Amino acid sequence: MNLKQLSEALGLSQTTVSRALNGYPEVSEKTREKVRKAALAANYQPSKRARSLATGRAMAIGHVIPVSTQQELVNPVFGDFIAGAGEIYSAEGYDMILSLVKDSDEADFYRDLKIKGNVDGIIVHGPRMADPRIALLKELGLPFVVHGRASDIDLPYDFIDVPNITAFDQATTHMIELGHRRIALINGVEDLDFACRRRKGYERALSRAGLRIDPALMHSSDMTEAYGYNAARDMLDTDNPPTGFAVASMITALGVRRAIEERGLKTGRDVSIVTFDDDLSYMRNGTQEAPIFTAVQSSVRDAGRHAARMLLDRVANPNAPAAETMMDCGLIIGETTGPVPKN
Amino acid sequence: MNLKQLSEALGLSQTTVSRALNGYPEVSEKTREKVRKAALAANYQPSKRARSLATGRAMAIGHVIPVSTQQELVNPVFGDFIAGAGEIYSAEGYDMILSLVKDSDEADFYRDLKIKGNVDGIIVHGPRMADPRIALLKELGLPFVVHGRASDIDLPYDFIDVPNITAFDQATTHMIELGHRRIALINGVEDLDFACRRRKGYERALSRAGLRIDPALMHSSDMTEAYGYNAARDMLDTDNPPTGFAVASMITALGVRRAIEERGLKTGRDVSIVTFDDDLSYMRNGTQEAPIFTAVQSSVRDAGRHAARMLLDRVANPNAPAAETMMDCGLIIGETTGPVPKN
DNA sequence: AAATTCATGCAAAGCGCTTTGGATTTACTG
DNA sequence: CAGTAAATCCAAAGCGCTTTGCATGAATTT
């Protein structure tokens, strides 16, 4: 059933039927109601393809997920971010198009995306320091919102981020206040902007407390469970092990805990952990029960919702001034931190 | 730059240019080469919208991800599955459209998908027992591949699955052979087909060994970390605790381990765990280093790749006989299992 | 009653591509 | 060299929708 058939069945022109269905004022309420009923009865849905060709709007948003070439790692936060964004899209009648792109050939990919015109806008994931994508997208005129931020960029652009510096300052300071002096940082890959900021926050807290920044205590890699385990194990097995860990993700923190427990130590008593917690749906920490990990927490799902709204606004209004959203990020105290042990 | 402009610039008709670019034989190699070069130089890409309207093919595959209404839980395996599938799609020029749908209004959703025509086929995720979606999709004539399987359905349909029964039989038998007699099952939600099968495998192994099937040792819920912890804790705190756990996902198994260690017990010595392991990229178990968890393992990313290929085949050839693919699933021995402790 | 506005509906022109059916040119046969 | 087949290209008709520009008749005003 298409428009033509429906309009013939109704004895109306395609124009009128189309207008009736799309809420244009040039059609009487009586006709509109009649058309609506007929459409419902005939199970009529306008073809997305035809519609978007005619309107020039794709009614779709692209999510471009960079896949790090070495590891082929998919960041576990994407699932929840996308779930959040998807809620908004489907409420607004937008499709979500997902593309996983090797970080090597991203530039071409964006260019093609614009030309092929199958999306109205995109969400940029995993921004790096001074990320070149931002200038490119601006130049292409393809609406976008960055999930995260890219430092050292002059252009104004839309982004939504968590206060990473503050968060890791807070996390580190919390341990400092508990008496910890040797605090390790188990960070993500530091050409990613968020990781860089977390490191800055960590360093700021140490400096404020007059503590030395020790490169031997700072690690940076893809945030897997194994990485957390390995990094923690190596540091714990030295002569002068850290008593606290600031960790960039729950998954990695689980690995850290594994290393701690394996050494016969007790997390929270012998060694403390504060982690960043994206509030992943299958790994809730304190949302339904008492928190396990002491953590700086911010819901990535909420971020997804918010980012989607920002992008749809941008699509609707390309010339509005750039919007910058900062998510809330609170320290929640769980069982993985405690006063530094005396010895 | 569109077809018309390009063809005018070349002094050729749109037909010829289109044919040249799409590899039709009616155009000389010389012309084709000339056209190709011009297209490249002008950065020409055919509009996806227009093309799919003309051809009737959307060049897009839909992934419909059911979101359980209570928990709003996104199964962490989707990320990797989609990463695998995405590789294939992009190699074949297909887009991937993701939709998260509340399991309540799925039927309508599929119907609309077909009518609106924005996908050529879909992957069905999270099949339940006797899942009604399969009959519906057959009836709609929308090509699909099921990730998993739905029991009790007579119709032939394409699916890719892991041998869940065998896998959990094997996992359970492994512990039985180590002397365990009280083995708990920490399963997913059992109206999902895969969970039901895993339970069958578990029960089969127990029965074969002449062990009693004890409902008190069988739990079923959304596979979160907290669920694993809670279920294990409750059972371990009884008078007659299990000495082994068969667990349906790594995430949940992490929770089980947490409960074990918290009780001052050592995993693998005092209590054993065998888990199902989807080989998630951020939680590798034995792929790069010695395995931590004893597990029945099957790469969900590979499954994604394979499912995508199956679906594209189906789209190309709607009347081929139904294809059923069974993934490999091997038991890998890690450190979380050991002989039952004597006491 | 004539002049003006408003409400309602229509025909037709795109949107940018693919593809059908034909026309024209070139190459090949006997 | 005429006659046929093959190669090469083109004009134009869709695909299913939105939207522009008009036409019609009803309602309102003077």
Per-residue pLDDT reduced to its tens digit, B127-144: 998 899 999 999 999 999
A83 with B74: Cβ contact below 8 A: yes
Phi, psi dihedral angles at A246 (to 5 degrees) = -105, 120
| Window 161-220 of B, Cβ < 8 Å to A | none
How much is the average pLDDT of A273-277? 98
Point out the nucleotide closest to B46 (alpha carbon to C1′): C17
Does residue B46 lie within 7 Å of nucleic acid chain C, judged by its CB?
yes
Please give the pLDDT value at position A69.
64
Q: Output the six-digit token pair for B135.
A: 């009959």
How much is the average pLDDT of A144-170? 95
How much is the average pLDDT of A183-189? 97
Q: What is the pLDDT of residues B247-261, one digit of tens each?
A: 999 999 999 998 998
**Which range, A55-59, A231-235, B106-110, is most confident?**
A231-235
pLDDT of residue B168 exceeding 70: yes
* Residue A99 CB coordination number (10 Å): 20
Point out the nucleotide closest to B51 (alpha carbon to C1′): C17
Report the range of poorest mean pLDDT among A245-259, B13-27, B95-109, B312-326: B95-109
Task: Report how far residue A229's alpha carbon sits from residue A211's, in angstroms, rounded to the nearest whole number.
Answer: 25
Q: What percentage of chain B has pLDDT greater than the value 70?
A: 98
Kindly report which amino acid residue has its CA closest to the C1' atom of nucleotide D16.
A50
Tell me which of B1, B44, B49 to substitute to probe the interface with A (most A C-beta atoms closer than 10 Å). Answer: B49
pLDDT of residue A189 exceeding 80: yes
What is the domain partition of chain A in residue ranges? 60-162+300-326, 164-299
Show the DSSP H helices in B117-210 as ranges. Answer: 132-140, 164-177, 193-208
B336's CB contacts (< 8 A; 6+ apart) are: B253, B257, B267, B268, B272, B273, B274, B275, B292, B293, B294
Confidence of residue B193 (pLDDT cuts 50, 70, 90): very high
A-B Cβ pairs (cutoff 8 Å, strict): 153
Please give the pLDDT value at position A2.
85
Q: What is the pLDDT of residues B273-307, one digit of tens each?
A: 999 999 998 899 988 788 999 999 999 999 999 99
Please give the pLDDT value at position A117.
87
Chain A residues 23-82 within 7 Å (CB) of strand C: 26-28, 30-31, 50, 53-54, 56
Please give the pLDDT value at position B72.
67
Under CATH, to which class is B164-299 assigned? alpha beta
Please give the pLDDT value at position A185.
98
Please give the pLDDT value at position B70.
61
In angstroms, the CA of B30 and the C1' of D1 are apart by 30
Q: What is the pLDDT of residues B46-94, one digit of tens each?
A: 999 899 989 999 999 999 887 766 666 788 899 999 999 999 998 898 9
Please give the pLDDT value at position A89.
94
> Chain B closest CA to A80's CA: distance in Å?
7
pLDDT of residue A204 exceeding 90: yes
pLDDT of residue B102 exceeding 90: no
Of B105 and B39, the one with more pLDDT: B39
Report the range of poorest mean pLDDT among A137-141, B97-101, B103-107, B245-249: B103-107
Of A285 and B103, the one with more pLDDT: A285
In angstroms, the CA of B314 and the C1' of D13 are apart by 31
Phi, psi dihedral angles at B162 (to 5 degrees) = -100, 155
The DSSP result for A283-313, as a single string, is S-SSSSSS-SSEEEE--HHHHHHHHHHHHHH
Kindly report which amino acid residue has its CA closest to the C1' atom of nucleotide D12.
B15
Please give the pLDDT value at position B69.
63
Per CATH, the number for B60-162+300-326 is 3.40.50.2300
From B302, B299, B301, B326, select the one nearest B158 (Cα to Cα).
Answer: B326
A282 with B75: Cβ contact below 8 A: yes
Please give the pLDDT value at position B288.
77
User: Helices H, strands E: what count in chain A?
Assistant: 12, 12
Q: Does B6 contact chain A (CB < 8 Å)?
A: no
Residue B16 contacts residue B39 (beta carbons within 8 Å): no
Average pLDDT for chain B: 92
From B175, B134, B167, select the one nearest B153 (Cα to Cα).
Answer: B134
Please give the pLDDT value at position B203.
98
pTM: 0.92
A282 with B79: Cβ contact below 8 A: no
Please give the pLDDT value at position A115.
86
Residue A167 contacts residue A276 (beta carbons within 8 Å): yes
Please give the pLDDT value at position A8.
86
Name the closest residue on chain B to residue A224, using Cα atoms.
Answer: B282
Q: Does A30 contact chain B (CB < 8 Å)?
A: no
B100 with A115: Cβ contact below 8 A: no
Residue A286 contacts residue A332 (beta carbons within 8 Å): yes
pLDDT of residue A104 exceeding 80: no
Residue A141 contacts residue A319 (beta carbons within 8 Å): no
Instruction: Name the helix (H) or strand (E) containing A159.
Output: strand A159-161
From B119, B112, B147, select the one nearest B131 (Cα to Cα).
Answer: B147
pLDDT of residue A58 exceeding 70: yes
Q: Which nucleotides of C are covered by protein (CB under 7 A)?
A: 7-12, 14-22
Confidence of residue A23 (pLDDT cuts 50, 70, 90): confident
Q: Does A48 contact chain B (CB < 8 Å)?
A: yes
Q: Provide the terminal-to-terminal Cα distance of chain B, rounded to the nearest Å.
A: 79
Q: Which chain B residues contact residue A281 at CB under 8 A?
A: 71-74, 224
Average pLDDT for chain A: 92
How much is the average pLDDT of A249-253? 95
pLDDT of residue B208 exceeding 80: yes
Strand order in the sheet with A218-220: A218-220, A183-187, A244-247, A272-277, A294-297, A330-332
How much is the average pLDDT of A85-97? 92
pLDDT of residue B101 exceeding 90: no
B93's CB contacts (< 8 A; 6+ apart) are: B59
